[in-house]
């Protein structure tokens, strides 16, 4: 697999994940979701989503074994 194919697969995977998230309404509290290539540490993409929490009964178990991190950053506005 070439580097370009690997990046395209990562981008497609991030888009599938984000497609499952609710759309931000432009007014409610928001989160900036950023995906980073684990090999090169470069940003794949970023999206704004509403800052809502799913009930624990709906939470999906982490399937890949990779750690997911949430970083709080100050609002630039």
pLDDT of residue 12: 92
- What does the pLDDT read at residue 57? 45
CB atoms within 10 A of CB 32: 14
Residue with more model confidence, 5 or 24: 5
**What pTM was computed for the model?**
0.57
**pLDDT tens sequence across 13-70:** 988 988 888 888 888 888 888 889 888 999 988 888 888 755 444 445 445 555 556 5
pLDDT at 4: 92
Q: Which pLDDT belongs to residue 77?
A: 55
Residue 31: strand pairing partners: 49
Q: What is the C-alpha separation between 47 and 42, in angstroms, rounded?
A: 15
């Amino acid at each position: 697999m070439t580097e370009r194919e690997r990046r395209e697969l990562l981008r497609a995977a991030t888009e599938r994940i984000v497609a499952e998230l609710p759309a931000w309404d432009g007014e409610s509290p928001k989160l900036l979701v950023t995906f980073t290539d684990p090999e090169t540490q470069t940003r794949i993409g970023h999206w704004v989503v509403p800052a809502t929490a799913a009930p624990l009964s709906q939470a999906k178990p982490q399937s890949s074994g990779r750690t997911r991190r949430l970083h709080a950053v100050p609002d630039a506005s």
